[in-house]
Structure 1
């Protein structure tokens, strides 16, 4: 393939990604993630995955996209905004849920767009093999987004972008098409430690390292058993997920509201009081969170969280 072909194909893909509503699109070479391998190994060795046993599976695949897609050449990383214009009250009158879970589960929303992008590539460029990923397979998304120049990994370990902060989803296409690659950007966290200082459970054990088993999101979503008693009083009203480290990050002053109607919350949620949360029934749960990520906990898990916050 000529350099001109590569350049043209890269431009087409990035243009289409923008049309589909993605914030940014960056591309990196599909190869073994050498820098990340020892970090992942150490993280797992220190049991920072807690009960997220799936993090221990497919170690090699997490580090090498060529094991996920035969003859993979490029990893196309994409960011999709979920920062809401209207937010649920956070004044103590009600319980909090993470902004990413306000509306329809992002897996459904973004998977459709990725399919469209992959179909476009095949129509415009030709026979291209590949797969779409949205937080659904052993892919180190933040590492690829970082390599693709979409941002740097902040001290809270989330990807940060200078123009858009961190309230976005990361998705990938791993394809067997050779494209022009983008380079990484600088780390702009500087001496700031706001996220570390604000975490009520001390989950950010050192800059850039989060102990997943201490995170409020882990306790309220991933943990299937009782929440440890020593965490009582530390959750700051978060019933599902947690946005504290992102909310305090100075880079999120650049977050702009998303344009995705499917990410809007059910209007009744804005009127919810603590008493309403306490009395939530299965029927109401199904209406409020019909296609929401909150359904992951089931009503029983959500009730456990609500009870723990009393």
Structure 2
């Protein structure tokens, strides 16, 4: 039995590498009681803003057995998205993760293949893959899987390569050898992300007020207008924000990704503010049909453009 569990674990790590994931960690499936308390406190303070979905399915978020009955293992996978290319400094700023194809589509296809390979090799197992689109506390599972720690900016930080990673989670009823959890926080006394955040979204206690985050304001917030108090604090960001990652010392270890689907759409690197403002909805839908930027919709991008500094 022990040898079977070990061989299955080895196979999981092998398939992860073959599918192009940069890191793979495994944790024993269990209810996340401590995380549940933290999440409840965070929600009670309204830090989720108007992201009502964060309040729904609370039990599903903290108990993997609610998502996959009989769950025994949680596999966490990291996929690097750090780009080699940079935006034209005159272009409205776009978070690096959105330079290429929508990561949901890219990773979902990899997860489906992952499960296919597992079933083909091991047999009839139950499992579900998640990538930032279901009630899963992926960063908590990444820490429990030994892949890094959650920094003061709320991002998972990997000691070898920083934080520019997508996180995917695969919950399964397959028993596997768990990795040792990541036990240390290597942020230390560093407060660069806290000091650099223009909207004060990162509290001194390393708790993120999502309702103030530029990524929330430019993507998740669906109001017709962004609150005037943020008018001079957006620092040119049209979609998302990378400030807290760009200033993080651990990201000096980031290396360009090797995923073809994440190669930047050329226009996203070069279009200036006027060109974005003049873009009609039909062109927007055509240009960004495979991009995560479509989440903000044409109207959302036009709204965000009004908050860019005049010099852009």
TM-score by length of 1: 0.97
Q: Detail structure 1 runs of 4+ shifted over 4 Å in the superposition.
A: none
Answering whether residue 53 of structure 2 is matched by residue 36 of structure 1, we say no
Partner Cα distance (2:116, 2:303) in 1:
43
Q: 2:188 aligns with which of 187, 190, 197?
A: 190
Partner Cα distance (1:258, 1:233) in 2:
33
Deviation at 1:280, TM superposition (A): 1.8
Q: 1:99 aligns with which of 81, 96, 101?
A: 96
Residue correspondence of structure 1 range 145-156 to structure 2 within 5 A: 145-156=142-153
Q: 1:177 aligns with which of 174, 179, 184?
A: 174
Per-residue displacement from partner, 1:228-284 (whole Å, max 9, x unpaired)?
Answer: 001111001000000000000011111111111111222233331222122122233
Instruction: Tell me the secondary structure at the aligned position of residue 205 of structure 1.
Output: coil
Native 8 Å contact 1:153 1:208 kept in 2: no
Answering whether residue 92 of structure 2 is matched by residue 122 of structure 1, we say no
Counterpart for residue 163 of structure 2: 166
Counterpart for residue 224 of structure 1: 222
Counterpart for residue 141 of structure 2: 144
Counterpart for residue 130 of structure 2: 133
Number of matched pairs: 307
Per-residue displacement from partner, 1:180-224 (whole Å, max 9, x unpaired)?
Answer: 001222211111111000000000013431010000000000111
Deviation at 1:285, TM superposition (A): 1.3
Answering whether residue 266 of structure 2 is matched by residue 236 of structure 1, we say no
Residue ranges of structure 2 left out of the alignment (5+ in a row): none
Counterpart for residue 273 of structure 1: 272
Native 8 Å contact 1:33 1:64 kept in 2: yes
Partner Cα distance (2:204, 2:9) in 1:
38
Native 8 Å contact 2:99 2:268 kept in 1: no
